[in-house]
Amino acid sequence: MSDRSGPTSGPTAVAGPGLAVAALLTASACLYSPPDQLPSSVRILYSKHDVDSLAGGTDIWFIVARKGNELRLTGDEGEDTQPFFAPGIRRVFFTRRPPAGREEIWSMDLDGNDERRILGGEGADYRDPAVAPDDRRIAFTMARGARSEVMIADLDGANARPLAAGLTASQPAWSPDGRTLAIVGEEGGRKRILLVPADGGPPRALTPGGSETQSEPDWSPDGARIVYTAGEGRGAEIMVATVAGGEASRLTDNDVEDRSPAWSTTGARIAFVSRRPDGKENLWLVDPDGEDLDDLTDYEEDEARDPDWL
C-alpha cells in the first residue's frame, strides 16, 4: 500500500478546487430555481467521460442544484470512476485505473484534495468501493482474471477478508444499519442480487426465481427496499424490490438502456444512467414509484456514469 497526499494535479485539474466546491455548496442553498432547474437539494457525484480532454479522460465530477453547476474533482491521467461518498468522514472513495495499470481504490476530500491510495497491487483489480455506515470498514470487489470476490477491510485497506469465501461476487452495497450487504452473485447460472450478513452467513436471493440478470444494487435509506438494474443492454431497466418479501416493481420500461441506480439520502428520488435519446449516457432522476422522470445532464458528446448522492 502507498499514500499520496496533496492537491489534484494534471493538465485538466481545476485551480483552487476547494474554494470552488465550497462556493457551489454554499450557493446551492439559495439558488433561484425556475422550472428548467433542479432543486437545490440535488447534489450528486458522478464520473464523466470527457471527449474534449487530451486523452478522452474519465474523472470524478459533481453537480449541485442545477445544470451547469458542475465541477471536476480529479484530473490525473487514467480513469477515475465509481465515486462513493462517506458522509461521516466527508470523503469520496473511488476507483482509479492508472495508464497501463490495474484498477485501484483511492479516497480524497470532497474538494478534490488529499488523494490517498487505499487498495491496489497484488496482481488484482480493486473496484466497487462501498464504505460501511460506521465509517470503519470498506467493502470492495477484488478481481483476478475472470474470478472476483467481495472483500471487507479496515477503512485504510488493512485486514482484508472475504465476505463469503468461495462465492464469486461483486458490487457490494451496505444496508443502512451495516448488518447486511447486497452483492451481485450467481443463482442458477445467472447474476442475481444476493443478501449476505456482514459478519458471515449463507446468502439469500433478494427476489427468488426469475430469469433476468440483476446487478448494481442500492438500498433505500430506511433499509426496506433495494433498487437495482434488471437485464442488460437495451433491455436493462430500473427495478425496486422489498427486502422482506422480494416483491419487485419496474420503474422504467422503454427501449433504451437504463442502469446504475442510486437512492437519494432522503429517499425521495433515484438517480440513474440512461442512454437516451441519442445513445450517449446521461444522468436522470425518477421517483421511487416510477413517476416524475427528469433529465439531470444533457451531454451530447460527453457521458455521465456512476451517480452517488451527497
What's the pTM value of the predicted model, to 2 decimals? 0.87
One-letter identity of residue 42: V
What's the mean per-residue pLDDT of the chain?
85
Summarised one tens digit per residue, pLDDT across range 156-208 is 999 999 999 889 999 999 999 999 999 999 877 789 999 999 998 899 999 98
Examine residue 216 and state whether it is found in any structural domain, yes or no: yes
Residue 228 domain-assigned?
yes
Total domain count, the chain:
1
Asked whether residue 38 is domain-assigned, the answer is no
81 and 73 Cβ atoms separated by less than 8 Å: no
Assigned domain for 182 exists: yes
Domain at 301, CATH number: 2.120.10.30
- The verdict on residue 300 lying in a domain is yes
More confident residue, 254 or 141: 141
User: C-alpha cell of 297?
Assistant: 445532464
125, β-bridge pairs: 143
Closest CA to 114 of 2, 1, 3, 7: 7
Residue 249 inside a domain? The answer is yes
- Residue 139 in domain: yes
Q: Which domain holds residue 161?
A: 82-309
Q: Residue 4: inside a domain, yes or no?
A: no
